[in-house]
């Protein structure tokens, strides 16, 4: 199935199976065996509590199909800001990209500052949703790997790569 050029919805779940968040659309820029790349601009987001909002800036999101992460690369005036969710490998089902969010996040700022976020939420959900030791090991390992990639500006945390995807998105939008 050819997905490049199609709009897909994005569903984020929690470990207990509950829907956490939904984005109404992302334009597929690339789809290979390792990851899917989508672009969003003013996407409508619906939270599990019913709150609705629109994304503020254009973003390129890379959903890993094999590793435990996805990265939202937000195009801001001051530079690209990377927000990486530690999450299950993503799947594509019908017209949706789906994954499970495991709370831990890492953020890379344009000035190369790196922060790990939501460690308390992770600790709470690990216990309340019974993540288990094997899953905990995977998530901690993936977080370390993501921090190393951020520090070294390796894929997907490379500005030139993200700018190329964004330019591809702009070209695709011109054609429509």
Could you give the count of Cα atoms lying within 13 Å of 17 in the half-sphere of its Cβ? Answer: 0
CA distances from 126 to 19, 96, 136, 140, 145 (A): 17, 26, 8, 12, 20
**Which residues are catalytically annotated?**
21
**Which of 47, 63, 57, 62 is closest to 78 using CA atoms?**
57
């Amino acid at each position: 199935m050819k997905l490049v050029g199609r709009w897909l919805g994005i569903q984020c779940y929690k470990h207990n199976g509950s829907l956490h968040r939904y984005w109404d659309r992302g334009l597929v820029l690339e789809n290979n065996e390792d990851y899917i790349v989508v672009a969003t601009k003013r996407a409508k987001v619906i939270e599990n509590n019913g709150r609705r909002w629109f994304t503020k800036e254009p973003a390129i999101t890379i959903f890993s199909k094999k590793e435990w992460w996805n990265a939202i690369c937000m195009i801001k005036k001051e530079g690209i800001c990377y927000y990486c969710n530690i999450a299950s490998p993503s799947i594509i089902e019908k017209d949706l990209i789906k994954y499970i969010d495991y709370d831990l996040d890492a953020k890379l700022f344009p000035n190369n500052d790196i922060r790990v976020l939501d460690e308390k939420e992770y600790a709470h959900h690990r216990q309340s949703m019974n993540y288990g030791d094997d899953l905990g090991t995977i998530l901690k390992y993936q977080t370390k790997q993501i921090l190393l990639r951020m520090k070294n500006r390796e894929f997907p945390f490379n500005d030139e790569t993200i700018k190329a995807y964004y330019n591809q998105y702009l070209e695709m939008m011109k054609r429509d």
